[in-house]
Structure 1
Amino acid sequence: MTQFTPPIFSKIIGTGSFLPNSAVSNDELAARLAQNNIETSDEWIRERTGIAQRHLASPEQNASDLAAHAARAALDMAGVSAEALDLIIVATSTPDMTFPSTACFLQAKIGADNAAAFDVMAVCSGFVYALATADAMVKAGQARTALVVGAEVFSRLLDWSDRKTCVLFGDGAGAVVLQASTEPGVLANRLHAKGSLSHILYAKGASQPEHAWDDPFLKMDGQAVFKQAVTALGDVAQEVLDDAGMTAEQIDWLIPHQANVRILQSTAKRLGVSMDKVITTVHLHGNTSAASVPLALDAAVRDGRIKKGQVILLQGVGGGFTWGANLVRF
């Protein structure tokens, strides 16, 4: 990797996103589940989660395919060619293969031959972790222009007979282009993990075939996850604000992990932030794990809500148990 003169800041200069295929509404999902004698309804799902629909990848679509669409959109907005990238980080818990990394597949698909490429796996906190990593590498002079992507085909991990989990998740990808800058961009990052809570949200993988084939699907203690998420998101938000010498009143937009509208509401209340300042897209795509934060970010950039110079608080929380935040001036 080429060594660059370390800049003062790194800055987001482009965003992109992609949702596969047509949306599957709650009513459509309920009809599918009814064929297996699983009872649910649009009312039941909306009341508990705020989700109205989700997108499901087709069998031939992998995480890198979704990532490529989001990456091209972000590069186009940034006015940057793939050849100009020095670094690609993909946050995913649903990689194309055990190895090579999904980032390497993405590099080949977009023609970013000059970029180092690797994956980050922190489940629903993955994008926040990846953005913090890319920011550190840009500031250290290890990269000048970086592509950070959250991409998931989480539907592959779902037990379609478990109503408590299968209604929650969807597939998608979101991306940002991060570039060295003399202007303030990423203002602060904080990352955390608590491995002793790994049992409240997990999925056994292919590296444990003696277990995976018996029970390969996502398992979640919903109440425990909710409790931990609200506490963790509130705490980490205050940490990055303190690091930047700012207060919650100075946030223009809050983008928490899009898991459940109740978590978004509770997080905003704990921070004293109006829901008018919370970017909410969970109703459109469900919980897309590492893709959820950049999906919401791109939606708000493209519809004009997020404007140049505004301060945005990004937050992730997920299996591990992991959580973190990025404070960004757009």
Structure 2
Amino acid sequence: MIKRLVYFLVLIILLGAAYSVSQTLLGNSSANAPNQGSKGAAPKVLVEVVKLESTASSFGAIATGWADKSAEVFAIVDEKVTQVLFKPQQKVKKGELLVQQDDREEQLALRLAEVQLKNTKSLLDRYKQAVGKGAVPQTQVDSAQADYEAAQVAVDQAKLAISNHQIRAPFSGVVGITDIDPGQRIGPGVMITGVDSREVIYVDFEVPEALVGQLSASKMDQIEVLASTPSVPGQEFKARVVALDSRLNPEKRSLRVRANISNPDDLLRPGMSFAVQMAVKGQMLASVPEIALQWDREGSYVWMIRDGKAYRENVRVADRRQGRVFLDGKIKEGESVVVEGGLRLAEGVVVELVEDPLQ
């Protein structure tokens, strides 16, 4: 019995010693583990060098030229033409007489109205002198005043009727061909000619929806437009954007843009076709692959690698093009941005850089 008790005590002592040795060995191995395996434990990331690229863009379109001012001239009344006072391609000034219609009856009506006006004025003056002496009642003076004012209206109507027989240029410009001849009777439905102001030619063209975000009414001076036409081969004309439409065309998904072309040498004509090249000036921004961009509740950000460690940089997306994003933030050209492996990163963590297997 005593012998068995001794064996049991010896066994307990041996087991305790074995446990103590094992704990010591485990403690030493855990203390040495970081130094031995720190490199293997670092998250692996694939990076790309940040480039500074311009956000400028260009676009080509076909447009039709229009005159700064353009009008078709019609007669106002139905009457015979007595004079055609212009020739095709003649430059005319605003208000210049182009066609005279027969207005003899209207001239006679004006003379009669002027005689009546003179008589009513004379009678009104006599009544005004007599009313002070009590020779005529005030009601008679009021009646003469009304007759005088009606006579003034009659004169104005006669002058208007005469002016309706005179077709004048609505603005300064160049007149076109006419099919009207003296002696021909024309009415309101017959076009006499066209008038175009060609000092400035404007072109309207459609810009696709993808580029609309780069256009701004407050920065139209940053939009450069060059136009060429087969009518004047070998020459380009600089245009200036003057207007952006207020809405997109829902069928074409495009925005109408208007540009003006100065035409001092009168080389351009309304109706010409133009090939338009539009360039929007941009700014130099950091360009990274789109897969490098990440989002959370605070907004968009990227992971930058500096001195072998990962650092988060909050950024603003300025533009997107062909799988790349242009970022506005504290990012410098030549720095390394994480393109793969960013989901395992934390601020300041040491990383292991790996090579791109596709390169």
Q: TM-score range by the shorter chain?
A: under 0.3
TM-score after normalising by structure 2: 0.17
Larger Rg computed on CA atoms: 2
More strand by share: 2
More helix by share: 1
TM-score after normalising by structure 1: 0.18
